[in-house]
A and B are shown apart, each in its own frame.
Chain A
């Protein structure tokens, strides 16, 4: 059974850094791209980008390029989403999703989401 387990909710202050995680199981983690999607309160879904766990190749949406960093640790089947300078506007639920063997794939299975709240 495919599972993507994300780390728990976070409350941070503006300017702080944060790294959230997404651990995959039930499939060959390194063979499938992992996408990150933002869901802001009362808004729609936004594709932030994706990472290839096998080779660490990344695709960033221009809207998020330079604002966040994707990384993986293949040894523990875990992908990470990182910020170095959080803003209040980063408050959202962040989902990781198992994509395909190609970067140009939909999101076949989603993690449960991590709520990030940034407030002074």
Chain B
């Protein structure tokens, strides 16, 4: 199985400041035939289901604010919230869909400082 790790486990950021979450996969999730990274990011707020933010590592889902961005390739990925808003308090998960069984990272909790 591909093991996904995330860092940090949690972080607290001041409103308007940048939040950066890292995700690492135990093997590459880049499919060379189409040059796509099979990596997604989700946001989960308390009591709600997860919501897709980013797919193919860097493509923002329709309707997601542009303060959310994804980057990286191969085994190392980053989710950046450029200017943290109060409504961004949530747990963020990365997810590889390159190899079955698909796997999720353990999550990073983002709070307001």
Residues of A in contact with B (beta carbons under 8 Å apart): 35, 37, 44-47, 49, 59, 61-63, 95, 97, 103-113
Contact = CB atoms under 8 A, between A and B. Distances in A.
Contacts, number: 56
A84 to B, nearest CB: 21
Given A108-B52, A112-B49, A44 B107 contact: yes
Interface of B: 38, 40, 42, 49-52, 55, 61, 93, 95, 97-98, 100-107
Given A44-B93, A45-B93, A109-B52, A63 B101 contact: yes
- Top 6 A-B residue pairs of the complex, sorted by shortest distance between their CB atoms: A61-B101, A106-B40, A110-B49, A47-B102, A45-B104, A44-B106
Identify the interface centre among B95, B100, B103: most chain A CB within 10 Å of its CB: B100
Contacts of A44: 93, 104-107
B49 A104 contact: no
Contacts of B61: 108
A104 B98 contact: yes
A113 B97 CA distance: 21
A61 B51 CA distance: 22
B31 to A, nearest CB: 8
Nearest to B54: A106
B100 A59 contact: yes
What is the interface of chain A mostly: helix, strand, loop, or mixed? loop
What is the interface of chain B mostly: helix, strand, loop, or mixed? loop
A103 B51 CA distance: 19
B95 A107 contact: yes
12 contacts: A44-B105, A45-B42, A45-B50, A46-B104, A95-B50, A105-B97, A106-B55, A106-B97, A107-B52, A108-B55, A110-B51, A111-B49
Nearest to B31: A104
Nearest to A50: B102
Given A45-B93, A47-B102, A63-B101, A107 B42 contact: yes
B8 to A, nearest CB: 15
A110 B50 contact: yes
